[in-house]
Amino acid sequence: MSLSKVLGARSRKDGYVEGNGWLVSWCVGHLVELAPADAYDPRYSKWAYDDLPIIPQPWQFQVLPDTRKQFNILRQLMSRDDVDTVICATDAGREGELIFRLTYDLCQCTKPVKRLWISSMEESAIRKGFDNLVDGQKYNNLYAAALCRAKADWLIGINGTRLFTTLYKGKTLNVGRVLTPTLTLLAEREAAIEHFKKEKFYTVELDAQGIRASSGKFNSKTDAEKLRSACLGKTAVVQSVTRKDKTERPPKLYDLTTLQREANRLFDYTAQQTLDYLQSLYEKRLATYPRTDSRYLTEDMAEGLPALCSTVAGALSFMAGQPLPVHAAQVVDSSKVTDHHAVIPTAEIAGADLAALPTGERNILYMIAVRLLCAVGEPHTYAETAVTLDCGGASFMTKGRTVAAAGWKGTEKAFLSTLKKKAEEPAPALPELAEGQRLEGADALLKQGTTSPPARFTEDTLLSAMEHASAEDFAALESVERTGLGTPATRAATIEKLVKSGFVERKKKQLLPTEKGLALSWAMPDQLKS
């Protein structure tokens, strides 16, 4: 409806809107999809090992029964005599391109196609997009990539699922191009935890005039106890004092995966919940396009950043009194933007009733707003001091930190305080110490610890593992579009499908493979798990 409003098409019809020389209609999700196996031969309605592999030649497509009415409306609109051009205004990305092209082709339309490519549903962005429509053929390769992925999913999903289900003669064993390797990540982590053997270790903690320092690790409790006894009540001597000035640069803007990971850490939101909240904000014109894998903005956005940041800061009560530097160069790099720039709030935030937003949407909007202000902010600078003490013939280490300028972390801290969450506390500052200085009357404590197994995956860490899967293999290849399992747009759905299929279960924040999931993973050959 945002498009029709800008175009002046206000007369509602059945399945479309008309007016001012425009016809505006819509796809209801995927109107057209690859046909199922039994569309090629009725015998494929029963699963049989001897029928495999099923490789369609040529590929067939079908209209879904519950969307056939809308498909027919689109076909009639495209065939109207007063329509000379069709504008593709689906989501500006690979999946949106696929949805349009399959519908256009199955309608047997041959009229010229123009492409609307926008990253925001703001009126200004829509108007600019319509003023700069692109020849649809420019996106032929994007469509080809989307169709290739869809066919690969079909071939592996249909053949793999039927193969292993018939081989093991049990319940359906779902196999997927992205699903199976993701399940394997979880299964392999569970195996590593199961086979992990905990080992005890011991350290000695020295307290010399209020300065706490730790020894190295001991495998033997007896050796650690000897050191503790040797230090008790003795003098600790400052061996070295090293002071370094350090800078922590502002973080990059959010792409979808990074936002999903941090929302899981901060609010326990699943990847799918975060995507749903962000999609809703996009449709309400409060955020830019969600399904992006870029963390930068384009050069043409640099000029408007100071005004946008001022608008965003003004909408956030916790930013009152906070400094507002805007270093646009830190977030602008067109060479690192593919289909869409990073996720940021829009200027519409100024007039929005943020308190009326559902809690999830409001939290996500605050996250992307704060990240924008942090990303263009000043660096966080501090001095780190490392001190080595000698006592009882052994070395003890400690570190301290003194903040020189809070920089962007001041903005982050202001936001976290509204959530009653503390920012990560650095090591406290150390007093002035000099080499050779003697610290009398040391106290010494024996500390026991155990080595830890690998941590189970959360949505945060699993998304990261999916994003960076096989990164070393991809690094050796030139001109690879992207690395990892799935795309920012599909990773959440993959996790949800694993859970709904009973292969993975959620326990608080953790994701654990079920017995069914483990059995399926171990049954798969390496080619499908890779």
With tokens 């000029």, the residue in question is 303
Cβ-count burial of 265 within 10 angstroms (0-12 exposed, 13-18 middle, 19+ buried)?
middle
Which two tokens mark 382? 């501090």
Q: How confident is the model at residue 477 (pLDDT cuts 50, 70, 90)?
A: low
- The H-or-E segment that residue 265 falls in is helix 256-267
Distance CA 198, CA 121 (A): 54
265: pLDDT strictly greater than 60? yes
Q: Measuring CA to CA, which residue among 183, 289, 209 is closest to residue 529?
A: 183
**235-251 pLDDT per residue, tens:** 999 999 999 999 999 99
Cβ atoms within 10 Å, residue 23: 20
Residues whose CB is less than 8 angstroms from the CB of residue 282 and which lie 6 or more positions away in sequence, other chains included: 120, 121, 288, 289, 290
Q: How confident is the model at residue 479 (pLDDT cuts 50, 70, 90)?
A: low
Q: Are strands 504-507 and 113-115 parallel, antiparallel or unpaired?
A: unpaired
| C-beta pairs of 85-88 under 8 Å, 24+ apart in sequence | 85/111, 85/112, 85/113, 85/114, 86/111, 86/112, 86/113, 86/114, 87/113, 87/114, 87/115, 87/116, 87/133, 88/113, 88/114, 88/115, 88/116, 88/136, 88/139
Q: How confident is the model at residue 422 (pLDDT cuts 50, 70, 90)?
A: low
Q: Which residue has the higher pLDDT, 352 or 425?
A: 352
Which two tokens mark 244? 């370094």
> Looking at residue 173, what is its pLDDT?
85
Q: Above pLDDT 90, what percent of the chain?
A: 83
> Looking at residue 33, what is its pLDDT?
94
Distance CA 297, CA 308 (A): 13
> Looking at residue 486, what is its pLDDT?
86
**3-40 pLDDT per residue, tens:** 999 999 999 999 999 999 999 999 877 899 999 999 99
**124-164 pLDDT per residue, tens:** 999 999 999 999 999 999 999 999 999 999 999 999 999 99
DSSP state of 354: G
> Looking at residue 482, what is its pLDDT?
55
394: pLDDT strictly greater than 70? yes
> Looking at residue 481, what is its pLDDT?
53
pTM of the predicted model as reported, rounded to 2 decimal places:
0.87
Q: How confident is the model at residue 112 (pLDDT cuts 50, 70, 90)?
A: very high
With tokens 């690879």, the residue in question is 480
What is the average per-residue pLDDT within 280-303? 94
Residues whose CB is less than 8 angstroms from the CB of residue 416 and which lie 6 or more positions away in sequence, other chains included: 422, 423
Cβ atoms within 10 Å, residue 1: 13
> Looking at residue 179, what is its pLDDT?
94
What is the average per-residue pLDDT within 182-211? 95
> Looking at residue 327, what is its pLDDT?
97
Which two tokens mark 63? 């209209």
> Looking at residue 483, what is its pLDDT?
64
Catalytic residues: 289
Cβ atoms within 10 Å, residue 37: 18
Query: What's the alpha-carbon Rg for the chain, to the nearest Å?
Result: 29
